[in-house]
Amino acid sequence: MDGSDSAAQNNGQWQRGDARANGLKLHWEALGPERGAPLLLVMGLGCQLIQWPEPLCRDLAARGFRVIRFDNRDAGLSDEAERGIRFNLRRDFLRIRLGLRPGPANYLLHDMAADTVGLMDALGIDHAHLVGVSMGGMISQIAAGAFPDRVRSLCSIMSSTNHPWLRQTRLDLLLRMATSPPNLLRDTIVARQTETFGLIGSPGFPTPEIERRDFAGRAFDRSFRPGGTLRQMHAIVATGSFEPLLKNVRAPTQIIHGTNDPLVRPACGRRCAALIRDARLELIEGMAHDCPIALMPRWAELIADNAGRAA
């Protein structure tokens, strides 16, 4: 393992390190038994590995998994992936919706899927269970389709096949995501993130505002990468639909989606389940586009049951 902190391996603490994968440094953390079945957690747009709730990670580790979470390229403590390519996000979004080709991108979701497999290579992992949320669910689906021999099971949460004609984000949220804040000061960003977390949060499992604000502050202090978030957003747009790849997925698959998701509509989850062979679909009433602590036992059970199908 590259740059790891081995002292924390067996005492219930996170082991941390940096690995070279697909030409980039990726920061990772691992928890659980060294010889446990590797389970990689792939995070969504603009988010860091700390977005994975601690109770979920510890539940999965207690079930015997070697839980590995990492910062995607352009997020957290991993390398940026600026390739000097300028892009127009709004223009390319409209071009994709009209069936036209977008302009060039710094990278695509396919490159981020290759990052995931590259991290596995760097950590000496032949194959792993993949769990992804939102954009991370798309990355995980692509990895399972492009590298089927490397993925033991797949769980895609509140995600999509990225088909441009699917009804996805609510208009007010789309405009909010495309609008820059008045400044990049900590108080402004924390307040904006706290409000955004509330707008996309689960009405059936609400997270108190004080907890949303505390997390937004911790995330800002750890790493604030607005340019990276824009490049990731453009990667989603420029990738377009990856539905043809899904016929190659052989891993047992669990789709989890909230009935109240305003950012990635439930129809997107249904589409994933319809196109992946023998996929199971779990629609959760009252869940939207976040990771409510109250739902983590249910997520862990679904993830573990699906992984068990690989045996």
Nearest to 157 by CA among 298, 63, 62: 298
pLDDT of 53-95, one tens digit each?
999 999 999 999 999 999 999 999 999 999 999 999 889 988 9
What pLDDT shows up at residue 193? 95
What pLDDT shows up at residue 1? 45
Which tokens in the block code for residue 183? 């400044």
How far apart are the C-alpha atoms of 16 and 219, rounded to whole Å?
Answer: 17
What pLDDT shows up at residue 6? 46
Other CB atoms within 10 A of residue 49 CB: 25
User: What is the mean predicted confidence (pLDDT) over 155-173?
Assistant: 86
Give this prediction's pTM. 0.95
- Of 10-14, 100-104, 142-146, 175-179, which range is least confident? 175-179
Query: What average pLDDT does the chain have?
Result: 94
How far apart are the C-alpha atoms of 273 and 284, rounded to whole Å?
Answer: 15
Q: Is the pLDDT of residue 167 over 90?
A: no
How far apart are the C-alpha atoms of 109 and 111, rounded to whole Å?
Answer: 5
What pLDDT shows up at residue 77? 98
What pLDDT shows up at residue 100? 86
User: What is the mean predicted confidence (pLDDT) over 207-227?
Assistant: 97
User: What is the mean predicted confidence (pLDDT) over 122-144?
Assistant: 98
pLDDT of 246-275, one tens digit each?
999 999 999 999 999 999 999 999 999 999
Confidence of residue 135 (pLDDT cuts 50, 70, 90): very high
Other CB atoms within 10 A of residue 133 CB: 27
The pLDDT > 70 percentage for the chain reads 95
What pLDDT shows up at residue 301? 98
How far apart are the C-alpha atoms of 207 and 290, rounded to whole Å?
Answer: 9
Q: What is the DSSP string of the chain?
A: --S--GGGTTTTSPEEEEEEETTEEEEEEEES-TTSEEEEEE--TT--GGGS-HHHHHHHHHTTEEEEEEPPTTSTTSPP---S----HHHHHHHHHTTPPP---S--HHHHHHHHHHHHHHTT-S-EEEEEETHHHHHHHHHHHH-GGGEEEEEEES-----TTS--S-HHHHHHHHSPPS---HHHHHHHHHHHHHHHS-TTSPPPHHHHHHHHHHHHHH---HHHHHHHHHHHHHH---GGGGGG--S-EEEEEETT-SSS-HHHHHHHHHHSTT-EEEEETT--SS--GGGHHHHHHHHHHHHHHT-
**CA 290 to the chain's CA centroid:** 11
Q: What is the largest CA-CA distance in the chain?
A: 54
**Residue 212 identity (one-letter amino acid):** R
What pLDDT shows up at residue 7? 43
Nearest to 237 by CA among 134, 89, 99, 112: 89
How far apart are the C-alpha atoms of 203 and 208, rounded to whole Å?
Answer: 11
**CA 126 to the chain's CA centroid:** 21
Which tokens in the block code for residue 227? 């340019």
Does 300 or 89 have the greater pLDDT score? 300
Q: Is the pLDDT of residue 15 over 70?
A: yes
The pLDDT > 90 percentage for the chain reads 86
Confidence of residue 10 (pLDDT cuts 50, 70, 90): low
User: What is the mean predicted confidence (pLDDT) over 189-211?
Assistant: 96
Does 172 or 263 have the greater pLDDT score? 263
What pLDDT shows up at residue 36? 97
- Between CA 102 and CA 107, with CA 105 as vertex, the angle to 5 degrees is 130
What pLDDT shows up at residue 275? 98
